[in-house]
Structure 1
Amino acid sequence: MPRTFYANMQIQPLIDGRSELTHAAEPPQEVIISTRVRLARNLQGHAFPGWAKAAQRRAVLSECEETIAGLAQMQKGAVLEIENLSDLEKQVLVERHLISRELSAHGAGSGVVVSPDQSTSIMINEEDHLRIQVLRSGYHFNDIWNAIDAIDSSLESSLNYAFSENLGYLTACPTNVGTGLRASVMMHLPGLVLANQMEKVVRAVNQLGMVVRGLFGEGSDASGSLFQISNQQTLGESEQDIIRRLGIVIETIKEQEINARLRLIENEPEKLADKIGRAYGILQHGHVLSSSEAMNFLSLIRLAVDCGLLPVEQRAQVDRLFLECQPGHIQFAAKENIDSDGRDTARARMLRKETGDMPSLNFDKLAFS
């Protein structure tokens, strides 16, 4: 049974430590929040996790844990087995993008190894035997590809991957066969949302063989105007070609977002200022905030930074609060069981404290008529 108590939680060191998403080495960028590359891999001669018996899953977990923990990049990291985690711990790991919602629903024989800086996580026995993920704040496809390729090569030297000369890497789902690569970029697109242009963007992206999802991937909503754009095709192209094509799409969306913001500033500066001002006031003085409300208000504060209404240093604070206002993080910080209403109150209290010293909005940056 998953643990439900709060003492001695295994993920406490992750929460206390500096992570890529909360304390990135470089200042956050406009529009692009983070970049991620994920590889799906399986072991030759072992049943896929969805068909494997418990003993088979545990055997794969044991073999992979030892190999992964021995990698230079993963030493002194966290080695976690899903069946030993509480539901809350699993929720926090999902919110930190260290495991998928699918892995959090698994039990015996599944696990994850997380690097000390939380930029790399390797899930074991999710849909595939291995899901290798490298995530960085900002836009860094080349660096991420080099990092994940090195990890993949090291693992392949010790583990016998399931590979076909004709098809490439074999995966549980046919849509991942070939490179097994999913590359994605988390983008902040409030201009397109406020201009009611996102539906058009989603259609155009789909026609180019890419997909648009919400904050936590497939089936999640886009609170805070945060969207994941990723490739769909994994077969018939090299990893570099997939990343190159996705990069072209990302640059086009970024240009459209910037243009949408400029049109808002030019055509509706008072309405934009009103939305930002209300968000600023509620974050500093609100007493009950749902996670969706908080995300949307923080999105407007990030937009205010990008428009020059607040110092650029506030962007990193907003990106950290995007994460820390999630339900699991609020519950974890409370150190006790609180219901939904209690979380909404605790969230508002935390955001009042975090934004209380925020500088005043400089509305002179918007050209009012």
Structure 2
Amino acid sequence: MNYPNLPKDCTSMLCRYLTKELFEELKDKTTANGFKLEQAINSGIENIDSGIGVYAGDEESYTLFAPLFDPIIEEYHGFTPTDKHQSNLNPDDLNAPNPDPDGKFILSTRIRVGRNVANMPLGSAVSTEQRDHIESTIIEGLNSLDGELEGNYYPLLGMSREVQENLIKEHFLFKEGDRFLASAGLNRDWPEGRGIYHNIDKTFLVWVNEEDQLRIISMQKGGDIKEVFARLVSAIKIIETKVPFSYSEHLGYLTSCPTNLGTAMRASVHIALPNLSKDMDAFKTITDKHHLQIRGIHGEHSQSEGGVYDISNRRRLGITEVRAVQDMVDGVVDLIEAEKAL
């Protein structure tokens, strides 16, 4: 492979950090799983509008291609190559009385984490056999869930139209088609080896072999954020007894995309702020203070509907899970106060 012809107006982190010299230094290196620089950067080359443009293929990618990954991680997370990540999944350490007990502002709460299986390549480098093995290992872990977490696993392969339509209607089902993931090699063999699990009450959900090998999600209507976090932690601990997760002392929980490292957590609420959203400067002053991200209700790059926004933590690496959720809680309290004042 030759140095890619990157356009002058490309603003992705890949375009900023992949110099010709760095490309020459890294282009012939290969991880033990056979993952090369060419695969790590393919998504950013094929999708020039990427924000980041690189994906890891395994744990070794983060060390072998460190001259490319480290500056991206440092810019995105403010986290240096000598820093160490700390984890804290204790719900008792979270100070989160319901910020909206009357249900006037918060429509729903959702907290999710990404996880990958220890001693296995990540999705970009995994073989068909490995992906199938990962799926069966995860199903074994999910089968050990009981009580409110007990539910059913639905493989995507051979899924009936009726089940599909129900899951899409519930906003549960993930789909093929994301061009960034496709270029990273994350959509290979679709839909084999992939599926979705949810409990009976539909307050707990696991995606298997989408961008990461597990996306573990806890959610419910309203603003009881602590209850949602506690359910998530309970499930993580049970699944981990059967499925060891890929974790590094430096980078925390390892994920395909360097933006999701560390806690690999996104804690969010859908919240109605019809008055505050008329003054986006005031809105952003509050979210910036608490390290929060504003999205439309259908996720990244989507618009708000009826003054309802998706508000989530921006920081993931170098802070604990409790801190990430606390950022969101404290910001939501301030947003509701500002909305009430208007």
The one of 131, 135, 140 equivalent to 1:66 is 140
- Matched-pair contact (CA < 8 Å) for 2:144–2:239: no
The one of 252, 259, 264 equivalent to 2:341 is 259
Asked if 1:120 corresponds to 2:204, the answer is: yes
Tell which deviates more after alignment, 94-103 or 231-240.
94-103
The one of 231, 252, 255 equivalent to 1:168 is 252
- Matched-pair contact (CA < 8 Å) for 2:295–2:303: yes
Tell which deviates more after alignment, 94-103 or 58-67.
94-103
Seen in structure 2, the aligned counterparts of structure 1 residues 235 and 91 have a Cα distance that, compared at 3 Å, is: farther
In structure 1, C-alpha distance between the alignment counterparts of 2:332 and 2:315, rounded to whole Å: 16
Report deviation, 1:90.
Answer: 4.4
The one of 192, 197, 200 equivalent to 2:276 is 192
What fraction of aligned residue pairs are identical, expressed as a percent?
A: 28
Secondary structure at the aligned position of 1:83 is classed as coil
Report deviation, 1:172.
Answer: 1.1
Report deviation, 1:45.
Answer: 1.8
Which digits, 9 at most, give the CA deviation of each residue in 1:77-111, with x for residues without a partner? 23111232367854653442324456998511111
Report deviation, 1:74.
Answer: 6.6
In structure 1, C-alpha distance between the alignment counterparts of 2:164 and 2:284, rounded to whole Å: 30
The one of 21, 36, 39 equivalent to 2:110 is 36
Secondary structure at the aligned position of 2:323 is classed as helix
Matches within 5 A, 1:236-251: 236-251=318-333
Seen in structure 2, the aligned counterparts of structure 1 residues 94 and 253 have a Cα distance that, compared at 3 Å, is: farther
Asked if 1:93 corresponds to 2:139, the answer is: no
Which consecutive unaligned segments of at least 5 residues does structure 2 have? 1-100, 179-186
Q: Which entry has the higher C-alpha Rg, 1 or 2?
A: 1
Question: When the two structures are aligned, how many residues end up with a matched partner?
Answer: 233
Secondary structure at the aligned position of 1:30 is classed as coil
**Matching residue's letter, 1:64:** I
RMSD: 2.7
Aligned to 2:307: 225
Secondary structure at the aligned position of 1:71 is classed as coil
In structure 1, C-alpha distance between the alignment counterparts of 2:227 and 2:204, rounded to whole Å: 13
In structure 1, C-alpha distance between the alignment counterparts of 2:121 and 2:148, rounded to whole Å: 26
Seen in structure 2, the aligned counterparts of structure 1 residues 88 and 223 have a Cα distance that, compared at 3 Å, is: farther
In structure 2, C-alpha distance between the alignment counterparts of 1:103 and 1:86, rounded to whole Å: 19
- Matched-pair contact (CA < 8 Å) for 2:148–2:201: no
Asked if 1:182 corresponds to 2:266, the answer is: yes
Report deviation, 1:75.
Answer: 6.5
Report deviation, 1:53.
Answer: 2.7
Matches within 5 A, 1:1-369: 29-73=103-147, 77-85=151-159, 90=164, 92-101=166-175, 106-193=190-277, 196-198=278-280, 200-202=282-284, 204-206=286-288, 208-260=290-342
Seen in structure 2, the aligned counterparts of structure 1 residues 30 and 140 have a Cα distance that, compared at 3 Å, is: same
Alignment TM-score, normalising by the size of structure 1: 0.57
Which digits, 9 at most, give the CA deviation of each residue in 1:226-266, with x for residues without a partner? 21100121111111111112111111111222223xxxxxx
Secondary structure at the aligned position of 1:47 is classed as coil
- Matched-pair contact (CA < 8 Å) for 2:144–2:238: no
In structure 1, C-alpha distance between the alignment counterparts of 2:230 and 2:276, rounded to whole Å: 32
Which digits, 9 at most, give the CA deviation of each residue in 1:279-310, with x for residues without a partner? xxxxxxxxxxxxxxxxxxxxxxxxxxxxxxxx
Seen in structure 2, the aligned counterparts of structure 1 residues 177 and 52 have a Cα distance that, compared at 3 Å, is: same
Seen in structure 2, the aligned counterparts of structure 1 residues 223 and 94 have a Cα distance that, compared at 3 Å, is: farther
In structure 2, C-alpha distance between the alignment counterparts of 1:74 and 1:67, rounded to whole Å: 15
Alignment TM-score, normalising by the size of structure 2: 0.62
In structure 2, C-alpha distance between the alignment counterparts of 1:87 and 1:226, rounded to whole Å: 31
**Matching residue's letter, 1:176:** N
Report deviation, 1:65.
Answer: 1.4
Secondary structure at the aligned position of 2:220 is classed as strand
- Matched-pair contact (CA < 8 Å) for 2:141–2:241: no
In structure 1, C-alpha distance between the alignment counterparts of 2:166 and 2:293, rounded to whole Å: 25
Which digits, 9 at most, give the CA deviation of each residue in 1:335-367, with x for residues without a partner? xxxxxxxxxxxxxxxxxxxxxxxxxxxxxxxxx
Say which structure, 1 or 2, has more relative contact order (CA 8 Å, 6+ apart).
2
